[in-house]
Structure 1
């Protein structure tokens, strides 16, 4: 069995003790009232703050509602604009495809023209080389004709002029075996390319006492000589002197 609670004996308290306890209780009540007042004040402030927040939320909701209405009002024009933009995009895509096709075609044409130009350059270079070769041949022929003409002018002591007549010249060749007469028959032909008479050898005859084999050598030299110096060297190496007598 539990022990009974022992309560204080209040009858033995003095007036001073009661007064002290009373003051203590008053202080505790005042403290409690102050705490309650502070709590109430904080709650009111919190309510005011929440009220402002609710007002702001309500305002935002109103704005959102108005914005929703405005968006709904503008939705149809925007959709129309979007449809037009989609059509424009398709048109632009078609134009881009067409431009790419034209670009590829132009690029192919440029490549073809470049190849043609390269071929033309090669053809021009080849033609230039061919013309240069022709020029060299013409120049060589000119020098040959010029040297041949100068040679016979010296051999026959004459001035060769361009004419179509057949001409005979007598030439005396002296060597150890005596004097041999050589008669050269030739014709000069006009040339429009180099303005020089072309020497056309027609016939060569000699005196009866000339050695036939040696005469044949002279004929070969006259027919085959490619330059005047070679012919003169041959004649001077086989004959002591040349006595050109001029035209017959």
Structure 2
């Protein structure tokens, strides 16, 4: 089953897509996704989709012109249930850090589907925030079937670049957890240090994490202004994985230190 669109609330938002990319928020200035979305909405910008970022990261050397954005949020919002569990009326996820409850309403047509992932692209969704409840109200929702139950290399669907067992596009490396509502993150491995290439599609990050934000822009359009902030080396553990982020020089220095410690 390929990606299938369903109209859900109101009129579909017309997308304003540009062929170029610009940095709205540098990784050094990292923001949670809600804040990144707010900033993009205020400026009338479109957050770059997973598939658009994939073209920059894997399909060309374009990533080099926006390297200070990575790792970054994409505008591709997703929701998936536990492997083998049927979709109900909603998919819900509680951010362990903030205790915010993310709710993604499931279109009737997709209820009772299992091993699938729901996808909505910015700007075709808005957030309805009530205290710690964040509801994702999307005008168009796609379903990508046969969403893999585990991490690893998988082909991707042609529209959104989401890993799926029946995809027709090039393979990408998936990170996932049991169940989640949140955006796709890209660019963990933009230097090619994790899997040798920039193929990682992360669907496990808490929306409260701080990442950069890239936006699409028209040819010759001015890039959003960003403040210069020194990037710090960060190390964290996520679902049993050790994730190290920083400048190339910082990561190289950390690698040398680890080698020295191993030799002692």
Question: TM-score scaled by structure 2?
Answer: 0.17
More helix by proportion, 1 or 2?
A: 1
* Larger RCO (alpha carbons 8 Å, 6+ apart): 2
Question: TM-score scaled by structure 1?
Answer: 0.18
More strand by proportion, 1 or 2?
A: 2
